[in-house]
Structure 1
Amino acid sequence: MSPTIASPPGPTAQHRPVESVNWDETTLVVRAQAGEVAAFEFLVDTYEAPLYRLAVRLLRNRTIAEDVLQEGFIAAWRKLPTLNAPETFRAWIYRIITRRCLDQLRASRDQLQLDETNGGNTTRAGDTDPAITVETEQLRHSLNRALTDLPPQLRVCWILTEVDQLSYADISQVLDLPVSTVRGRLARARHQLAEGMASWR
């Protein structure tokens, strides 16, 4: 379960119900830029879960991921007025959280403790045959191990592509890299993962 993000502070914040209004994301961003906390909270509700999963997979630690996400959303609220293209909010918020995760990894050169939660994924008892469940969990564990062995710059490209389904163009914006570099890192990540998962072929 992802953490609860506290409402962002703001001297001009206005609380208005947004759940009953069918606004598109760009409209929500514009209204949040105008100081409407409720609009920003709706955006947080939209992106909190996928960004939390991203942080857990990158940092391998739930507590640190929660802290990074909390700080990232607060920073996003404060920086939101500087976003000149509201329609690019998705790539923008991913960039904020991703960079904070990478900064955290750089600040903690010693390997972070592996979080045995598989990034928040669980298999419910009774959903399938016990033997298949065990094998699936072992496969997930092996994939997590292989992902942990990837350098952070390769790991983040793989996660953003395969898990969060971001386009190469979006990842280029998130990481501030040329698309060709994103493609190259993703290719290396897939190659290393294939070698790490060779025993499952």
Structure 2
Amino acid sequence: MRKVKDEENFEDRDAWLETIMDEYGERLTKLAYNYVKDWKQAEDIVQDAFITCFKHYEKIDEIKFFKSWIYRLVINQSKDVLKSSAFKRVMMNSSLFSLFTSKDPLPEMSLLKRSEEEFLSRCVLSLPVKYREVITLYYYEECSIEDIKGMLGLNRNTIKTRLNRGRAKLKNMMERWGYDGEQA
């Protein structure tokens, strides 16, 4: 009898994990990408987060705000990756790094310039992490100041200040570069 109960619990856990993967997978990957700026690395971070969820299935009822918890998990893992010396060595030694620091736009970037939304996304990605994370959570993920407070562990006023400064930096960038992406 014990074995049947364990199999049912495992099926419930699998169904639950599949549900949260469908609901949060893409958004969490985009969130992680905003930190590490590498899609494969972002996918790995989210996969690790889902493994953590799977391992904590029995304790999931103890988590009051699941969305905040899983976002915080991805944010922390993304920051850990950024701090790791291996990540820095790979990014600094990568031939791709020289492409991103080149003054000449890549052909792919020329295609992206056609869309104002994509231009704005590139501007957001160029912000320092402390501004990028609150801008992303507030505008792209539509989280409230209170939700962001729970996810990042910051004071409400700090979040508001970072939102204001981030918006000002974005406005400045967009005015300087214009919507065609070229320096004025």
Q: Aligned to 2:36, which of 52, 55, 59?
A: 59
1:14 and 2:21 matched? no
Q: Which consecutive segments of 4 or more residues in structure 1 shift more than 6 A?
A: none
Q: CA deviation at 1:149?
A: 2.6
1:188 and 2:165 matched? yes
Q: CA deviation at 1:105?
A: 1.9
Rate the CA distance shift 1:150–1:135 in 2: closer, same or farther, 3 A. Answer: closer
Q: CA deviation at 1:194?
A: 0.7
Unaligned 5+ residue runs, structure 2? 1-5, 101-110, 180-184
- The whole-number CA distance in structure 1 between the counterparts of 2:78 and 2:162 is 18
1:174 and 2:151 matched? yes
Report what 2:51 is aligned to.
74
The residue identity in structure 2 corresponding to 1:136 is: R
User: TM-score under structure 2 normalisation?
Assistant: 0.71
Q: CA deviation at 1:189?
A: 0.8
Partner SS for 2:10: coil
Q: CA deviation at 1:13?
A: 4.1
- The whole-number CA distance in structure 1 between the counterparts of 2:61 and 2:158 is 26
Unaligned 5+ residue runs, structure 1? 1-9, 17-35, 117-132
Q: CA deviation at 1:164?
A: 0.5
Q: CA deviation at 1:92?
A: 0.8
- The whole-number CA distance in structure 1 between the counterparts of 2:112 and 2:88 is 33
- The whole-number CA distance in structure 1 between the counterparts of 2:68 and 2:166 is 21
1:154 and 2:131 matched? yes
Cα deviations by residue, 1:75-131 (Å, 9 ceiling, x for unpaired): 2222344456544111111111111112222224576758x9xxxxxxxxxxxxxxx
Report what 1:136 is aligned to.
114
Q: Aligned to 1:200, which of 150, 166, 178?
A: 178
The residue identity in structure 1 corresponding to 2:157 is: S
Q: CA deviation at 1:15?
A: 0.9
Q: Would the aligned equivalents of 1:146 and 1:196 in 2 still touch at CA under 8 Å?
A: yes
Report what 2:142 is aligned to.
165
Paired residues, what number? Answer: 156
The residue identity in structure 1 corresponding to 2:174 is: M
Cα RMSD, aligned residues only = 3.0
- The whole-number CA distance in structure 2 between the counterparts of 1:12 and 1:100 is 31
User: TM-score under structure 1 normalisation?
Assistant: 0.65
Percent identity over the alignment is 25
Partner SS for 1:14: helix
The residue identity in structure 1 corresponding to 2:39 is: R
Report what 1:98 is aligned to.
75
The residue identity in structure 2 corresponding to 1:42 is: T
Partner SS for 2:114: helix
- The whole-number CA distance in structure 2 between the counterparts of 1:96 and 1:134 is 31
Larger Rg: 2
- The whole-number CA distance in structure 1 between the counterparts of 2:155 and 2:49 is 24
Q: CA deviation at 1:51?
A: 1.0
